[in-house]
Structure 1
Amino acid sequence: MKMREIRAFFNLSIIGFLLIAGCVSVSPPMSVESNPTGLRFEEPPELSPEQEALIIRRTQREQEILSSELNAESAAELALLHNPLIERALETLGMPGFDRLQLVHITNPNFNRGRPPSTMETRIERMSSVNAMTWVIMPALDPIGTLEERSGRIRAADEIVALLFLAKRSWVNAVAAKQAVQYYKDVVTALEAGREIMESMRQVGNATELELLRAQTLYADAVTALTNLEITAAVEHERFIQVLGLWGDDADSVKLPDRLPEIPRSVIGPEGLESRAVSQRFDVHAGRLEGLSGEAGVNARADVRTAWLAYRGAYDLATHSINEIVPLANRRSEEQLKLYNGMLVGVFDLVTDATERIDAVNSALEAKKVFWLAEVELQRAMAGVGVSAVSIQEGQQNSFRPGATYHVH
């Protein structure tokens, strides 16, 4: 057996480490007399020149985003610009036709309910969510109107800002699924080479039938895993497209990176998180409006503490997997190859070791995904959205549910 084939097969450890490190026409108005169904059809309202200009600018920005590879922040912006849910929510807030670009890029100069949620952009307080909050919080918390109208405005504002974090989570899941597929394609290629080597050795009597069957089973299992991962990646990609509100050519033009970003070298500390959350969270502002500032503050602090603990734990696990587990697996593989060169172990020992490396890399990839999802959850907790913050019901105590996530169905 040629050493070139062996080395090609067992380059999997290096690969694993690098992977880690349509239009509908509407008829004009018809009278009941001329319309046998008795239904009335009305033309859509004409747009003013200002509204048309807003749509043109927004479309240009959307195309600019789509022309580049999406990251978590650009995905969140695109969702806010394009998802049709936003227009309905803006109408509920009494802001129909509002310039969505302002939601993302401009802080409301009239924001006067306490200090703005944040004065600078950080890893957990992004200006896109801060800006959107300053525009929607005032109409959302307007005490005028019926209980139903007030509840509707609060839900609408919550949906607008929460969509940013939903888009980020969907982006993380889609990119992680894509990265897993690419890694497992290399796994399948390597195990296929190992199976072929074992078949050749079996033909000349240098391998037992049991060793051949084990190699064939490993390859078959890898093919099954790859198929499942490809299905998962396709589903996550479609979910991501749905959150963005895209279809047709725009959906086809979405470009995602091949891998998730590297884990940051430093972790966000808990200092000051609770106090900032109490002063800026949307649900806390809503609770104060209903005379429930104490309950809102307690729940906000608990939500942020829970999110930070999950974030810190995910960071520790991810860095441990990447910096300790995977390098150890690679070193073990190098030693196994030395033993093979000295004819102290057989090919199947190398194949078995390859599966252990695969498990190590898989664990690291999953840990990285969990970390980025945890960071998005911490961002959401600081904003206090993605929750049914206040349920205004006459005669009943308002209900807070921190930590509940918002989903588009």
Structure 2
Amino acid sequence: MTSLYKLAGGASLLVLLGGCASPSGDGGFGAVAGVSEQRTGVSASVAGRLPRNEDDARALAAVIGKKLEQPLAADDAVQVALLNNRGLQATYWSLGVAEADLVQAGRLQNPVLDFKRTHGGGEVGVERTLTFNLVGLITAPMASRIEGRRFEQTKLLVSNEALKVAADTRRAWVEAVAASQVSDYAKQVEASAQASAELAERMRKAGNWSSLDMAREQAYHAQTVADVTHAQKAAVAAREKLTRLLGLSGEQATAYRLPDHLPDLPAAPRALADIEQIAVNERLDIQAARLDTEQTASTLGLTRTTRFINVLDLGAVRNTDGPAATRGYELTLEIPLFDWGSARVARAEATYMQSVNQLAQAAVNARSEARESYADYRTSYDLAHHYRDQVLPLRKQISEQTLLRYNGMLMSVFELLADAREQSAAVSGYIGALKDYWTAQANLDAALGGNLTKNKGVQP
């Protein structure tokens, strides 16, 4: 009996020690912010933590306000989104939930104290029982390891979500700047077309143009007015999409400015070696899927361990019945008469095989997305490079020669106006090709798991 109480005392000590574990200060956010900063090139936190109070909110507002004082560059837009996107902020807090589960798994279950007092016939009976869950004691280390893997998986998934928001923001920034640039250029084309229509009307009144020629110029001007409306509509939609990702509202949503045009095309595209392997090694969703498979395998081992011992409680009993006191112990065991645990094991095995195949499919998708994104990146670069170095210079040369010939009265005004339209189409094509290139680069970064320049195998 003495050994039984020693066991109960030792279990009590384990409970006290297990209860010492407590959540960390940042809930794992520091690690996530570090990964985001490494892979996006911008900081994802203010003072290294999530906003928790008014002081943190004011510090965050100050950082965002400073970013919005100047035209918002792509990297600044990404940082604002990482700091201020409310959906992403909600995802950050899932780290706290996962860490709380980890801490809870490291704590032993509380003992149960039963007290019973009876009296009758002049006698008083007192029964005391202190019960410990032995299964919890046995499986606590394995449960802690499982929750530890789940916490690491959550950190990877949250980091991956931050990278997704960063990539979406960069694409939205490219779209918004390009749409604004297209809108501004459409206004210039419309102003030129209006001047041409007015000229056509004056020449028609002077008898130098036919009604058909005048109608052509007026129809072109009417089309440019419609093009301006479409461009403005697209610019508003693109800006609002970016605004949502930035998490801005009120005055900030309407006051922030964007650059007048997209960045210039780089001198050369970047060459990637073995992009498929880079994607498999670097993508956080693949790493999270690996951890999920390992976690499922560990859970399967735990299920097999406890398939026959479903409920096992050990308790020290001390009864007082009148003047005499009795001592002993109580053991509660669920007898596997009807349920031998085979269904739980089969379910765990099926879940494991499901996880294995999901991991394999994720790897297949990652390799395909890497190939597709890189092909799009190189093609988009080549097209934008062709516009910049071939189409635009030739259009400029043609325009200069056309103007010289018109001034020398060797060409008609019809040919001059037709050349102006073709030149505007070439400029619009280049803006679209440049937008496609920067979008393709953002897509490639996302397909490889982060900023293109941070990945292995990348050379200028």
After TM superposition, the score normalised by the length of structure 2 is 0.59
- 1:78 corresponds in structure 2 to 80
- For the pair 1:343 / 2:409, whether they are aligned, the reply is yes
> Counterparts of 1:7-406 in structure 2 under 5 Å?
51-94=53-96, 143-144=146-147, 156-291=158-293, 292=356, 295-383=361-449
In structure 2, stretches of 5+ residues that fail to align are 1-49, 99-144, 294-355, 452-460
Instruction: Say if 2:370 and 2:447, in contact at 8 Å, map to a contact too.
Output: yes
SS at match of 1:290: helix
How many residues in Structure 1 have an aligned counterpart in Structure 2?
Answer: 292
Q: Distance in 1 between matches of 2:52 and 2:197?
A: 66
Q: What is the CA–CA distance in structure 1 between the aligned matches of 2:443 and 2:87, rounded to whole Å?
A: 21
Question: Could you say which residue in structure 2 is the equivalent of 1:104?
Answer: none
Q: Distance in 2 between matches of 1:326 and 1:167?
A: 30
1:306 Cα deviation after fit: 1.4
> How far is the alpha carbon of 1:145 from its aligned partner?
9.2
Give SS of 1:343's match: coil
User: Which residue identity lines up with residue 316 of structure 1 in the other structure?
Assistant: D
Aligned-pair Cα RMSD in Å: 2.8
AA at the equivalent of 2:385: T
Alpha-carbon separation, structure 1, partners of 2:174 and 2:97 = 31
SS of 2:258's partner is: coil
Q: Is the 8 A contact 2:157 2:288 kept in 1?
A: no
Secondary structure class of the residue paired with 2:263: coil
Alpha-carbon contact 1:314-1:371 (below 8 Å) kept: yes
Note closer, same or farther for the CA distance 1:349–1:143 as it changes in structure 2 (3 Å cut): farther
CA distance in 2: counterparts of 1:289 and 1:206, whole angstroms:
79
SS at match of 1:362: helix
Alpha-carbon distance in 2 for matches of 1:223, 1:190: 11
Query: CA–CA distance in 2 between the matches of 1:314 and 1:170?
Result: 17
**Do the aligned residues in 2 keep the contact of 1:198 with 1:347 (CA within 8 Å)?**
no
- Normalising by structure 1, what TM-score? 0.66
More strand by share: 2
More displaced, 271-280 or 174-183?
271-280
Task: Answer whether contact 1:89 1:157 (CA < 8 A) is retained.
Answer: no
- AA matched with 1:282: L
Larger radius of gyration: 2
Q: Is the 8 A contact 1:198 1:211 kept in 2?
A: yes
CA distance in 2: counterparts of 1:335 and 1:63, whole angstroms: 50
Q: Deviation at 1:273?
A: 3.5
Q: Judging changes above 3 Å, is the alpha-carbon distance between structure 1 residues 55 and 88 closer, same or farther for their aligned structure 2 residues?
A: same
Q: Answer yes or no: is the 8 Å Cα contact 2:197–2:214 preserved in 1.
A: yes
Maintained 8 Å contact 1:321/1:364: yes
Post-superposition Cα deviations, 1:178-216, rounded to whole Å, max 9, x if no partner, equal 001111111111111111222221121111111111111
Q: Percentage identity across aligned positions?
A: 33
Measured in 1, the distance between the counterparts of 2:443 and 2:375 equals: 11
1:217 positional shift: 1.0
Structure 1 contact 69–256 (Cα < 8 Å) conserved: yes
